Amino acid sequence: MAIVIKRVHDAPEASDGVRILVDRLWPRGVSKERAELDDWAKDAAPSPGLRTEWHRADADRFDEFAARYRAELDENAAAQALLAVARQHDRVTLVYGARDAVHNHAAVLRDWLGEHGADVER
């Protein structure tokens, strides 16, 4: 099993495997057909309060955001369900809408899944 992350605005590829949107809100400007998703795990995304706070902050506070999001993931049944999906498939692509490919919640989620037994690709 391998877990990767990819922007929802990037073209889907057959090599993506199972494509799961991990944003709480549907990304603007992307149709469901164009996204070619297999699932939408909105409950694995940061809580509404944490998401709002992060969008108001800058990248310098990413480590603080990541720590708080990891704490949420530790108690999150949807994150555990993603781990189970990762164990059932050769490749899972976590799809996200953020512009920043480094400082985003999908990267934190991918790393958290890796710390809990999933194979991750960076």
**Residue 56: what pLDDT?**
65
**Residue 57: what pLDDT?**
65
Contacts from 112-115 at CB under 8 Å and sequence distance 24+? 112/70, 112/73, 112/79, 113/3, 113/79, 113/82, 113/83, 113/86, 114/3
Q: Does the residue 48 lie in any domain?
A: yes
Total tally of structural domains belonging to the chain = 1
**Residue 51: what pLDDT?**
87
Q: Does the residue 120 lie in any domain?
A: no
Q: Does the residue 34 lie in any domain?
A: yes
Mean pLDDT (the chain) is: 92
**Residue 68: what pLDDT?**
95
Q: Does the residue 28 lie in any domain?
A: yes
What string of pLDDT tens digits covers the 122 residues of the chain?
Answer: 699 999 999 999 999 999 999 999 999 999 999 999 999 999 999 999 998 887 766 677 889 999 999 999 999 999 999 999 999 999 999 999 999 888 899 999 999 999 998 878 77
What residues make up the domain containing 111? 2-115
Q: Does the residue 47 lie in any domain?
A: yes
Q: Does the residue 15 lie in any domain?
A: yes
Q: Does the residue 22 lie in any domain?
A: yes
Return all residues near 9 (Cβ < 8 A) that are at least 6 apart: 27, 29, 30, 97
Q: Does the residue 122 lie in any domain?
A: no
